[in-house]
Amino acid sequence: MRSLPRAAGFPAMSVLSCVIVLLTAVPASAGWEEDLDALLSTDDEGERAELLTRVLDEGPDWTEVASRIEGLSFPEAYVPGVPVLRTTVCIDTVERPWVLAVPETYDPETPTPLLLVLHGGVSSADVEEDPIGHVEENELAWLAEKQGWIALFPFGQAGATWWDEVGMANIRDLIRTAKRELNVDDDRIWMAGFSDGASAGFAHAMIGPDDYAAFVALNGHMGVGSLDGDLAIYAPNLANTPIYATTTFDDGLYPSAKMRGTIEMAQAAGGDILYREMKGGHDFDDVEDELPGIARFLDRHPRDPFPTTIVWETAGKDFGRCRWFAIDEVTRVEPAPWHEDHNAALVNDRITVGFQPDWEYEGEGVLIDLVVEGDYPAQNMGLLAGDVIVRGDDMDVPDMDALNAWKGTIERGDEFTLTVTREGETVTLFGRMPPPENYNIFKREKPSAAARVSYSANRIDVDASRVGAFRVMVHPDMIRLDEDLVIAVRGEVVYDAPVEPDLEYLIQNFLDNRDRRLLYVAEIAVDLP
């Protein structure tokens, strides 16, 4: 296993040098350039509002402002080549760690790719105790250093998973933090992950791919974001961003034999997926053999910031945007003939008792750290946190490997016993595995709207299904501002007029996204009857 160096004598919690300027008071104006620089550097909402008003009052041309934003400079990176531990306060007010690794080759004058890496086991109650150690042993961190990419590692837990509001906001905020401090190539930001991290890659590609050029999903399940996160996600959305996906034949969670059908369904729906099946189990011990292929795939897939076609489906405005197009309203009418549901049915025959072990326990047996709430055998049979499992039926259980071996002897619907030690006494608990059940990988609880959109020669064509309102974001690299923009829905023109650049919109959009490549100058909102 390759590892990255650790900073000698470096504190456990460290803060990178940062371009943030803390203003105690907004000084008298020295020109719109200085005011804009201060605006882009402050986090204080009051200062931001005052500085924005000042820039707008000074009236610079939008092209000058765009040029200054595109030419932002960045300081030297702090400790390049060494993973640095940071903390952030998430929107639930909980402080969580994250790690940023800047490669030895980083040049603050050169836009540098960024690889966002998501770990597995994100539903654990505890956050990673040794984030630096995790990164040092991570093969994707080694790949990023070798390729000269910045690597960013968020750390989640139950209540801040990759598919809930807290975890998704954390990912978004950390990318923007990295963009403020480092010269990140906006068109080469990739998300990669293993297990839960891979499942998250599928989900983010289907609900919000705007920041990303491509995804890497190693041994994941594309339905987890819907099944566990209650997200309304749709396979046709995978057409907009390429994915490198793998499964392994002997994976106890997501074996190739089961996942193959979900991949084929998504590909039939238009998903841009390069899929590989590999030998091995869930831990994917041969992942090192995949690294060259992953590197080639990502290098070949920079983001297309202005794709000429977009396919997007959503159940609501929260996840209605893809690139330069956004669905703002879903109507309850009959869908268009081409608007069909793409889903896959699987059989849940997984043997899950319903507890989390204490991985630090070194005694005989398996110590129960947490019993999962819900209709699980552990809950129903009375297993308690603090119990130590010592037998499964007639098999001794000295450790987790033995417990997993026992689980391999039972099937869905079987009765079983667990023998535990509890407060010095031996207790036998009786349970039954639930029977096998069929399930769809995507929940369908709300109607969805879908659109197939394309643009050419200052004309945007929208084929809409159940779309009540939508927006188009305008960029001068996409639309000629000296000509009328025509927007047609199912062949009927709904907009035909010039687009006037809006300086406030341009600046505010950048403050929200920190994307120097996508400095939209206006947006056009269209309401449909």
Average pLDDT value for residue range 121-130: 90
Average pLDDT over residues 68-87: 91
Half-sphere exposure of 219 (CA within 13 A, CB side): 24
Residues 235 and 260 in one domain: yes
Please check the confidence at residue 7 and state whether its pLDDT lies above 70. Answer: no
Q: Do both 229 and 288 map to the same domain?
A: yes
Beta bridge partners of 367: 388
263 and 201 assigned to the same domain: yes
Is the pLDDT at 17 greater than 60? The verdict is no
| 270 φ/ψ sector (left φ>0, alpha ψ -120 to 50, else beta) | left
> What's the rounded Cα separation, in Å, for the pair 502 and 523?
9
Task: Check whether residue 429 and residue 389 sit in a common domain.
Answer: yes
The reply to whether 413 and 479 lie within a common domain is no
- Residue that is last in its domain, among 47, 70, 93: 70
Average pLDDT over residues 320-334: 97
Tell whether 198 and 102 lie within a shared domain: yes
Residue ranges with strand state E in 25-162: 83-89, 95-101, 112-118, 150-154
The mean per-residue pLDDT over the stretch 331-358 comes to 91
pLDDT band, very low/low/confident/very high, at 77 (cuts 50, 70, 90): confident
Q: What is the pLDDT of residue 247?
A: 96
Closest by CA to 158, choosing from 118, 193, 126, is 126
Q: What is the pLDDT of residue 30?
A: 62
Of 11-15, 135-139, 486-490, 503-507, the range with the lowest mean pLDDT is: 11-15
The Cα-based distances of 216 to 165, 242, 245, 291 in angstroms read 22, 9, 6, 11
pLDDT band at 9; cut points 50, 70, 90: very low
CA gap 359, 250 in Å, rounded: 23
C-alpha to C-alpha distances, 436 to 222, 351, 354, 404, nearest whole angstrom: 20, 10, 16, 19
pLDDT of 20 higher than 90: no
The pair of structure tokens assigned to 331 is 């109507």
For residues 93 and 190, give the distance between their C-alpha atoms in angstroms, rounded to a whole number. 27
Indicate whether 13 pLDDT > 60. no
Mean pLDDT of the chain: 92
Q: Is the pLDDT of residue 2 over 50?
A: no
pLDDT of residue 173: 97
Global confidence as pTM:
0.86
- Sign of the torsion formed by the C-alpha atoms of 285, 257, 196 and 106: positive
Q: What is the pLDDT of residue 57?
A: 96
Amino acid present at 39: L
Residue 421 and residue 501 share a domain: no
Question: What's the pLDDT band for 328 if we cut at 50, 70, 90?
Answer: very high
In this prediction, residue 468 carries a pLDDT of: 97
In the structure encoding, which two tokens stand for residue 85, read together? Answer: 């531990």
Distances, alpha carbon 474 to alpha carbons 51, 196, 323, 431, 521, in Å: 25, 35, 11, 60, 6
What pLDDT was estimated at residue 28? 52
pLDDT value for 436? 85
- Sheet with 184-194, strands from edge to edge, namely 83-89, 95-101, 150-154, 112-118, 184-194, 214-218, 243-248, 273-278
Q: Are 88 and 211 within one domain? A: yes
pLDDT attached to residue 359: 81
Contact predicate 404/351, CB 8 Å: no
Sign of CA dihedral 109, 111, 113, 119: positive
Report pLDDT digits (tens) over 237-246: 999 999 999 9
Report H helices in 42-76. 45-58, 62-70
Domain span holding position 365: 355-435
Q: Residue 106: which pLDDT band, with cuts at 50, 70 and 90? A: very high
Distance CA 6, CA 362 (A): 27
Residues 57 and 88 in one domain: no
> Are both 224 and 268 inside the same structural domain?
yes
The pLDDT of residue 18: 37
The residue from 435, 469, 501 where one domain ends is 435
In the block, tokens 């009857």 appear at: 529
Q: Burial letters for 410-447: b for 16+ Cβ neighbours within 10 Å, e otherwise?
A: eebeeebebbbbeeeeeeebebebeeeeeeebbbeeee
In a domain, 348, yes or no: no
Q: 6 in a domain, yes or no?
A: no
Token code pair at residue 26? 């907004």
DSSP state, 387?
Answer: -
Residue written as token pair 């009927």: 492
What CATH number corresponds to the domain at position 427? 2.30.42.10
| Residue 395 predicted with pLDDT over 60 | yes
How is residue 461 written in tokens? Answer: 């064509």
25: in domain:
no
Number of structural domains (the chain) is: 4
Q: What is the dihedral of CA 312, 318, 324, 325, to 10 degrees?
A: 50
Task: Kindly state whether residue 168 falls inside one of the protein's structural domains.
Answer: yes
In a domain, 488, yes or no: yes
Residue 105 has pLDDT above 60, yes or no: yes
Amino acid at 161: T
Amino acid letter, 409: T
Determine the Cα–Cα distance for residues 300 and 294; give it in Å rounded to an integer. 10
Least confident of 138-142, 144-148, 189-193, 351-355: 351-355
Nearest to 123, CA basis, from 224, 207, 258:
224
399 found inside a domain? yes
Do 387 and 496 share a structural domain? no
Is 23 part of a structural domain of the chain?
Answer: no
Is the Cβ–Cβ distance between 467 and 448 less than 8 Å? no
Residue with tokens 């709904």: 494
Using the 3D structure, point to which of 379, 411, 435 is the last residue of a domain. Answer: 435
Q: pLDDT tens digits for 269-324? A: 999 999 999 998 888 667 788 999 999 999 999 999 999 999 999 999 999 999 99
Instruction: Answer yes or no: do 183 and 265 share one domain.
Output: yes
How far apart CA 31 and CA 49 sit, in angstroms, is 16
Cβ count within 10 A of residue 366:
26
User: Is residue 308 in a domain?
Assistant: no
